[in-house]
Homo-oligomer: A and B are copies of this chain.
Amino acid sequence: MIKAGIVGGTGYTGVELLRLLAQHPEVELAAITSRKEAGMPVAEMFPSLRGRVSLAFTTPEEAPLKSCDVVFFATPNGIAMQQTRELLEAGVKVIDLAADFRIKDVAEWSKWYGMEHACPELVAEAVYGLPEINRAAIKQARLIANPGCYPTAVQLGFLPLVEAGVIDTSGLVADCKSGVSGAGRKAETHILYAEATDSFKAYAVAGHRHLPEIRQGLARMAGHDVGLTFVPHLTPMIRGIHATLYGKLKKDVDLQALYEKRYAGEYFVDVMPPKSHPETRSVRAINTCRIAVHRPQGGDTVVVLSVIDNLVKGAAGQAVQNMNLLFDLPEQMGLTQIAVSP
């Protein structure tokens, strides 16, 4: 059994990790920390876990993190970078669900995240945990930078086109829609029920922190910089990201075949039949990304629709997928639930 610890377990990413790890046949939950809620049983804060998770929150100091096999950081940005070195030195593998190790250019990271980086050398070591691109490296890693939610949906959506070099990468558009859980479990006015329901809006059009992460990923696929306009929107639903991606084709190509071939054998990527419109609820609570590719009116604009559950493939599920790779377990272990629909 893998002993797993979670640092910062009171957010939506934390409770989703608990849901998945508690059902994982090879994991033993060893510790979950929250300075603020120390002493409170996890199932008292999250009644959905009653009878299934008996742990209580502890302070980070009291938690037996160093004797874990793997520690997940489900913390705000800037925490994992403070504590990772010590854990790695103790032989613990680390999966950071925040952004601390995602951006290779540390100066760029500092610009977007508004703080200095505490351990730039670990950024260099960290492996970006998108298994469909980086599987081999992940298996060898001891530190995983778990991708952001938007970056997962957008990169998986663009990947076949960019890798194959069939799209003009100078003017890509990613129009993305996220459920409200993506904003976290923080007491903030703008995500109150009466503010966020029955309404729709864009946000951060001037620049969202996931922009450099997506650009970095696409550039790596392309072999050169890309031009990307990324507009996120807040959608009145709990979970789900729907990325609608636009680009100009540079050459005629069988798009459906391209996607099916690229993702053949990928358990967590479902290329849907031509003319499909994936809906976010078809991946509710599961680790799958469903993709459909379109070429409206046979023109040279390609439209890709890519949906994930932001808390699963966009966070906790992908982290478990990475953990499986780190410990040489079957990649889908503990992640074979069927989507809850309706």
Interface, chain A (partner B; CB < 8 A): 12, 15, 19, 22-23, 46-52, 171, 173, 175, 177, 179-181, 185-189, 191-203, 205-207, 227, 229-231, 233, 235-240, 242, 244, 246, 248, 270, 272, 275-285, 288, 290, 294, 296-297, 299, 301, 303, 305, 307, 336-342
CB of A301 within 8 A of CB of B171, answer yes
* Most B CB within 10 A of own CB, among A189, A198, A305: A198
Q: Are B194 and A50 in contact (CB under 8 A)?
A: no
Residues of B within 8 A of A288 (CB): 51
With a cutoff of 8 Å between Cβ atoms, the chain B residues found around residue A341 in the complex are: 15, 19, 46, 48
* A177 and chain B: residue at smallest CB distance: B200
From residue A22, how far is it (CB to closest CB) to chain B in Å? Answer: 6
Identify 7 residue pairs between A and B in the complex whose beta-carbon atoms are under 8 Å apart, listed by A's number: A23-B337, A205-B277, A205-B294, A205-B303, A206-B296, A227-B299, A239-B342
- Which residues does chain B contribute within 8 Å of A187, judged by CB atoms? 187-189, 192
Are B240's CB and A200's CB within 8 A?
Answer: yes
Whether the pair A200, B280 counts as a contact (CB closer than 8 A) is yes
A48, chain B: closest CB distance, angstroms: 4
- A199 engages B240 (CB within 8 Å): yes
Instruction: Kindly provide the distance from the CB of A280 to the nearest chain B CB, expressed in whole angstroms.
Output: 5
The interface residues of chain B lying within 8 Å CB-to-CB of A303 are 205, 229, 231
- Which chain B residue has the least Cβ–Cβ distance from A189? B187
- Point out the residue from B171, B197, B275, B336 that lies within 8 Å of A238, measured CB to CB: B197
Q: Is the CB of B199 within 8 A of A279?
A: yes
Complex CA gap A25/B22 in Å reads 18
Cβ–Cβ < 8 Å partners of A192 in chain B: 180, 185, 187, 191-193
Report the bound CA distance from A286 to B142 in whole Å. 35
CB-based contact B238/A342 at 8 Å: yes
Given A197-B193, A199-B281, A270-B50: A177 and B177 interface contact (C-beta under 8 Å): yes
CB distance from A261 to the nearest CB of B (A): 17
**Residues of B close to A246: CB separation below 8 A:** 173, 175, 229, 246
Asked, given contacts A205-B296, A206-B296, whether A342 binds B277 with beta carbons under 8 Å apart, the answer is no
Once A185-B194, A192-B185, A233-B242 are accepted as A-B contacts, the answer to whether A47 and B272 lie under 8 Å apart by CB is: yes
Tell me whether B193 and A180 are in contact (CB under 8 A).
yes
Name the distance in Å between A287's Cβ and chain B's nearest Cβ. 12
How far apart are the CA atoms of A47 and B273 in the complex, in Å?
A: 11
Shortest distance between the CB of A49 and any CB in chain B (Å): 7
Cβ contacts under 8 Å, A290 to chain B: 47, 50
CB closest residue in chain B, given A181: B194
Residues of B within 8 A of A279 (CB): 47, 199-201
Contact A338 B22 (CB under 8 A): yes
